[in-house]
Structure 1
Amino acid sequence: MTFAFDNSFHRTMEGFYAACEPDAASKPELVAFNDALAAELGLDRSGVSDAELAALLSGAALPDGAQPIALTYAGHQFGQFNPQLGDGRAHLLGEIVAPDARRFDIQLKGSGRTPYSRGGDGKAALGPVLREYLVSEAMHALGIPTTRSLAAVKTGDGVFREVFLPGAVLTRVAASHIRVGTFAYFAAHHGADAVRQLSDHAIARHYPAAADATNPYLAFFEAVVEAQAALIARWMQVGFVHGVMNTDNCSIAGETIDYGPCAFLDRYAADTVFSSIDRQGRYAFGNQPGIARWNMHRLAEALAGAVHAIGG
């Protein structure tokens, strides 16, 4: 299956990622493949066996043109700034341009250690992989902006999470994997020039109209705020609880990303939480609009130097 990669982030954003390859799954087995999404992306699987797909989408073999990287970012986790996070168990294989001219990241999640793993094994268990596959596709069916799931593959390797569990890799499709935490990292460590470079890339990719504004970086910020507000409003309409709205789980593309302890309400209760470590209810269902606003304040802080360099 040909992906026809056009890897703009790898090509133009050196220093914003670490090049690294996924681990090779020992015995990949295809569990699910999203044929409808593949068709949207212009991917032709005719003549490609399940075994070949499993190898390509598990790290056992790399598709032609893939340039795997792990992205660098920071994050405000439960309100506290962690200055160094990054993709600790995911490899961005590259970008493809769909027949309708939209650009998408193709990422393997649960594919092994990266320079940002911080002692973790970089792997994922089958249960969480299937949960993200199902919930992200349900959100898409509900018309809510979200990352998508192209495939779930069992690796044939075990992962230890209190007990041994079957390992798996999710192939995630996103408009991009640039997060509020990405801006926070480069603002904290590299200053306004790096933030401007990242902003220019994000503007060109997601909000091209902002490039024509008097202050493109302010216009970019306003566009992200609008996208986040629209996204959270849709969450609230369907009773979706993200669970962990840290800034590293907040996409500047306005998509739902990183399905961890998420769920839908069975009955309305504003104080419902779905993270076992959220003991104070910071990310409770009813708090989500306020947390989205808090996250946008953190983006504003990261962009401040770039905005004020132009004026506005």
Structure 2
Amino acid sequence: MDQPGNDDVIVVGSGVVGLTTAVVLAEAGRRVRVWTREPAGRTTSAVAGALWWPYRIEPKALARSWALTSHAVYEELAARPEETGVRVVEGVMGETRLDELGDWAARVPGLRTATADEYPGTALWARLPLIDMPVHLRLLQDRFRRAGGRIEERTVTDLGEVGAPVVVNCTGLGARSLVPDPAVRPVRGQLVLVENPGIGEWLVSTDPAAGTTTYVFPQPGRLVLGGTTDEDDWSREPDPEVAAAIVARCAALRPEIAGARVLDHRVGLRPVRDAVRLERELLPDGRVVVHNYGHGGAGVTVAWGCAREAATLLGVAASG
């Protein structure tokens, strides 16, 4: 294996945050490797519903800035959806008021109050990036490799064992034991993939009384139905009863979903933290660690903004 040089960076983690950070650094000219315990296709990012929206992430002001940076990138990538996995899709965000969102909402093109014909209650209509994550993760890997990066499957149990002058910690939920940081905890999300009966718009509906969020995301070749927010639940096994309840809730909103053939069941563990940890740490031996984890259910939404801030913390002028 090549010996690390002074400009070497090792990014630990190959979810969307890790890969996006690696792309930004590599395309800025740094020599970057990604160390990952599992392939990108097996990370939580791979099963994300992946609608752009600042969801379950703190601190709000920074998260919204990161999200808007990412939104601009996704709008550009949406010009090549087959290659990038990014499309801009119309839909309705239920139980949401425009005046509750803050100034950032004015920078989202076309965001407006939904009409009564579009949704029976208070809601917003929007055209938002919706990302097909398996395709998008492949794009990130391809861009990273074209920029000279390398991806290596390695399990890291101690950041101190990572032999590079600069380490970027994008381990998500893994940071709980790796750092260790007990503030990171799982919020389990279960999804059902069904054949699409002809739905072209996404829909999110929240029932505060029941404590549920129901969503319908049309992806190429499938319809993604969700979801759950199970606090501190580590189970990655789909629950059949939960799956049936998800389908029933979605069918109550869009009756054509009833009877749609089930294609698959997915579970992801969102790496939730009271606040994203995005900061530079100097180790006793003089090496630098930049932590970039704890993005909860909004990793896709803020990935590019956080990647560019991580690059800035390393003194790298990011252009990607």
TM-score of the aligned structures, taking structure 1 as reference length: 0.28
Higher relative contact order structure (alpha carbons within 8 Å, sequence separation ≥ 6): 2
Tell me which protein shows more strand as a share of its residues.
2
TM-score of the aligned structures, taking structure 2 as reference length: 0.28
